[in-house]
Structure 1
Amino acid sequence: MKFPVVVHKDADSDYGVTIPDVPGCFSAGRSFSEALHNVREALALHLEGVIADQEQLPQVLAIDVHLNNPDFSGGFWAIVDLDLMPYLRNTTQANTIYPTDSP
């Protein structure tokens, strides 16, 4: 599954990464590449918790839906790809997730 992420960088800080479609899941890194790597790990851990709690997986929206959100202004957009199959194997019900253009 491809998750849109937004990366912010202040002059005196590391790169911070937010996943708009997964509230509460974020990460950081000293470089842009490290930040993207770290957010994949954070997302994997977050999804493990979602499955363990038997909650529904997040619905991923297209980047275009988030572009005008002021919370993400000034950030760099990227796509993080994460295979969801390991998380779905342990569930009795699999929810199909497709990117959409609407919230």
Structure 2
Amino acid sequence: MHYPIAIEVGDDQHDYGVAVPDLPGCFSAGDTFDEAIINAREAIEGHLESLAEHGDPIPSASAIEKHLANPDYAGWVWAAVEIDMTPYLGKSHKVNVTLPDLLIKRIDNAVERHAEFKSRSGFLARAALHELERHAQ
């Protein structure tokens, strides 16, 4: 999921400030623009972890366009931070799935090329989550 972030540009006297409009109370900062984005990812992950630990719902990310007209962020720069949502979805459960050989080979090839999937089940979980998000919008 890509969470939009608003970045208030810093200067010699001020850090770059970051707000995450879809996650009320989630803020961050950094000495540089790049550091602000890196710190924003950590802030988002910490915020989502806290929500998950307390059993609170995880807010969906909205499109940046939803926030562009918000006067609170006038003059700020917009970016999006990609977050892997699977750690915040709760306890894992084993399920049996039957798939065609060719599809399994394609999944295995994708897992081999992209370490972020870690496993066949990680790939399938991310693909399922992507489809759910796509259909929710």
Runs of 4+ in 1 over 3 A off after TM superposition: 95-100
Where does the alignment leave 5 or more consecutive residues of structure 2 unmatched? 94-128
The count of aligned residue pairs is 98
Partner SS state of residue 57, structure 1: coil
Q: Given residue 28 of structure 2, which amino acid in structure 1 is its aligned partner?
A: S
The structure having more radius of gyration, on CA atoms, is 2
Larger helix share, 1 or 2: 2
After TM superposition, give the deviation of residue 91 of structure 1 in Å. Answer: 7.3
Match of 1:9 in 2: 9
Q: Given residue 83 of structure 1, which amino acid in structure 2 is its aligned partner?
A: D
Q: Percent identity of the aligned residues?
A: 42
Where does the alignment leave 5 or more consecutive residues of structure 1 unmatched? none
Match of 1:54 in 2: 55
Relative to the length of structure 1, the TM-score reads 0.85
RMSD: 2.1
Q: Given residue 48 of structure 1, which amino acid in structure 2 is its aligned partner?
A: E
Aligned equivalents of 1:24, 1:89: Cα separation in 2: 22
Q: 2:22 touches 2:60 (CA, 8 Å); kept in 1?
A: yes
Q: How does 1:89-100 map to 2 (within 5 A)?
A: 89-90=90-91, 97=133, 100=137
Larger strand share, 1 or 2: 1
Q: Which has the higher contact order (CA 8 A, sep 6+)?
A: 1
Aligned equivalents of 1:10, 1:43: Cα separation in 2: 20
